[in-house]
Amino acid sequence: MSAIALLVEKFDRALVAAFGDDLAGTDPLLAATNNPKFGDYQANLAMSLAKRLKQKPRDIATAIVEALDVSDICEPPEIAGPGFINLRLKTSYLESQLQAMLPGDRLGIAPVASPQKVVVDFSSPNIAKEMHVGHLRSTIIGDAIARVLEFQGHDVLRLNHVGDWGTQFGMLITYLREVYPDALTQADALDIGDLVAFYKKAKIRFDEDEQFKEKSRQAVVGLQNGDSEARKAWKLLCDQSRREFQKIYDRLDIKLSERGESFYNDALAGVVADLDELSLLQEDDGAQCVFLEGYTNKEGKPLPLIVQKSNGGYNYATTDLAALRYRTTQDGASRIIYVVDVGQSSHFEQVFQVAQRAGWLAEDTEALHVPFGLVQGEDGKKLKTRAGDTVRLRDLLDEAVDRAQQSITDRLAAEDRTEPAEFVDRVASVVGLSSVKYADLSQNRTSNYIFSYDKMLAMQGNTAPYLLYAYVRVAGIGRKGGIDFAALSEGTPPAIALEDAAELALAKHLLGLDEVIDTVARELLPNRLCQYLFELSQKFNQFYDRCSVLQAGEPQRTSRLLLCYLSAKTLRLGLSLLGIEVLDRM
Ligand code: ARG
């Protein structure tokens, strides 16, 4: 149990002892202090209880402290100012906690007591369109969230809700029938680049030519009615896109199960019929709608969510309703997380509202839209290529790796070092890809962020290379001293003794991993983990700059080696939860 959780329990007991059962469950308002002068934590409850208990905060604090038994983990508590209770963790407690982090790969963090079934809906690009930088954030953030929840022991279903249905296929099939019929019958006739180019041309025809438009509509109807030629063509187009998407997922080490929009086709009529049964459905201008609560147009009239168009077709919202129902009933999910750009916020609010009113979202089931902002160019506008096109994800990744390669080559030259080409390639690939991931994850996802290769690849600052380098430093210590860290901590590991202030600061930080992971799982903000790992790297570097390790005498040397080892293990685990690999050398 983390120190904070232990303290919360202890405060609860003290409150009950001092003031009776009425106060059981009162939040002790514990906060980590920023200034080591005040210890590690401060409890602020005495002030907030003054009114209720009709006593002076300082007297309340005194009564609490008298009843508080924290001697196993803290120095004697001190009361400061109007009634703050300051707590300082005992060094012996920190040492024993660190010791408990040594065995195994989980740094002593137990899986959660009651695992949930969680769906993470992320990435979800559209077939026949190129996967662009807009899908990058969803893919990277969704993967990190899934990894954190998996680490906690939840049963996570990673779903790729690809856009594999709809009018785009009618246009595309109609256009290809005219200009390149082979593409609709032969598996390898197209690659995604062509597909995207064809899609753009088809779209132009669709917008200009009435006859083409009509043919496209018929093609969609054919597809919906199961016309075998249209189906076959559709499947081929999906396969081609899928292969290209997979290349990106493989590169970024992303695991996903595809369950696209088309998966729910057969359930759509049922969704509408059930809404009707529940008396939620109303006809408006020929369309079937649910009128939303809390959404009005300019005249103050309620806005409809259309679930079936006047021509009988279903739309994006209908599919999401079907998907949500499937996820709660068939998958048994109790938490459903949608990692989708902030532009779709009202779509999700509306879908969730309708699902709730239809009884498809039980009380204990959580459906959450996890929104994120735009990726901007260095000019502050939506990221575009020089020619003004959307940036393709594969070009962006290639460029990150190329630039990483260049900076490694420069660094090697500056250090007068030579390394084999495979080494340079591997480092460039890890550094390039992890820089892109980390730059995205380290921002609070709700804001827009400016995409800058120079910033993300910098060796200094809150960047992937800075963190990777801290890990490399530990590995370097191991190599230099011929240390087998794993063997050192096997069985009954030697004692850790904390003396220097830098050791204490590092130790306390190391012990915070558990809590950070909990926070990320709750708030779904991976930037909290990034910040933690950045500070860990800083604290490790300060420790390493101040305290000699290999040169220290025993038993200090071994104790410090174990601190190095724990720092590296924490970095490796934390980065792996962000989908980032470490390197032993770079
Ligand atoms: N395909 C959609 C897009 O590119 C994202 C789908 C998100 N997931 C969902 N269940 N609606 O905008």
Beta bridge pairs of residue 295:
none
* Rounded CA separation 41/32 (Å): 4
pTM: 0.94
Nearest atom in ligand 1 to the alpha carbon of residue 163 is 1
Residue of the CA atom closest to atom 5 of ligand 1: 124
Pocket of ligand 1 contains residue 126 by CB under 6 Å? yes
* Rounded CA separation 302/292 (Å): 6
C-alpha distances in Å from residue 161, one per residue of 145, 324, 579: 16, 11, 21
* Rounded CA separation 548/582 (Å): 24
Pocket of ligand 1 contains residue 259 by CB under 6 Å? no
Q: At what angle do helices 228-252 and 393-414 cross, to 10 degrees?
A: 20
Which of 120, 122, 161, 372 to mutate to test ligand 1, by most ligand atoms within 8 A of the CB atom? Answer: 161
Pocket of ligand 1 contains residue 503 by CB under 6 Å? no
Pocket of ligand 1 contains residue 365 by CB under 6 Å? no
Q: Tell me the two tokens of residue 434.
A: 């992890």
The residue to which tokens 């129902």 are assigned? 325
Pocket of ligand 1 contains residue 138 by CB under 6 Å? no
Q: Tell me the two tokens of residue 232.
A: 């076959």
Pocket of ligand 1 contains residue 134 by CB under 6 Å? no
Cβ atoms within 10 Å, residue 327: 24
Cβ atoms within 10 Å, residue 159: 27
Q: What is the pLDDT of residues 426-481, one digit of tens each?
A: 999 999 999 999 999 999 999 999 999 999 999 999 999 999 999 999 999 999 99
Q: What is the pLDDT of residues 161-217, one digit of tens each?
A: 999 998 888 998 999 889 888 888 887 777 766 788 888 899 999 999 999 999 998
Sequential pLDDT tens for the chain (586 residues): 788 889 999 999 999 999 999 999 999 999 988 887 889 999 999 999 999 999 999 999 999 999 999 999 999 999 999 999 999 999 999 999 999 999 989 999 999 999 999 999 999 999 988 787 879 999 999 999 999 999 999 999 999 999 999 888 899 899 988 988 888 888 777 776 678 888 889 999 999 999 999 999 889 888 888 888 888 889 988 998 898 899 999 999 999 999 999 999 999 999 999 999 999 999 999 999 999 999 988 888 899 999 999 988 899 999 999 999 999 999 999 999 999 999 999 999 999 999 999 999 988 999 999 999 999 998 888 888 888 888 888 899 999 999 999 999 999 999 999 999 999 999 999 999 999 999 999 999 999 999 999 999 999 999 999 999 999 999 999 999 999 999 988 878 788 999 999 999 999 999 999 999 999 999 999 999 999 999 999 999 999 999 999 999 999 999 999 999 999 999 999 999 999 999 999 9
| Cα of 187 from ligand 1 centre, angstroms | 26
Residue of the CA atom closest to atom 9 of ligand 1: 161
The residue to which tokens 């071994």 are assigned? 558
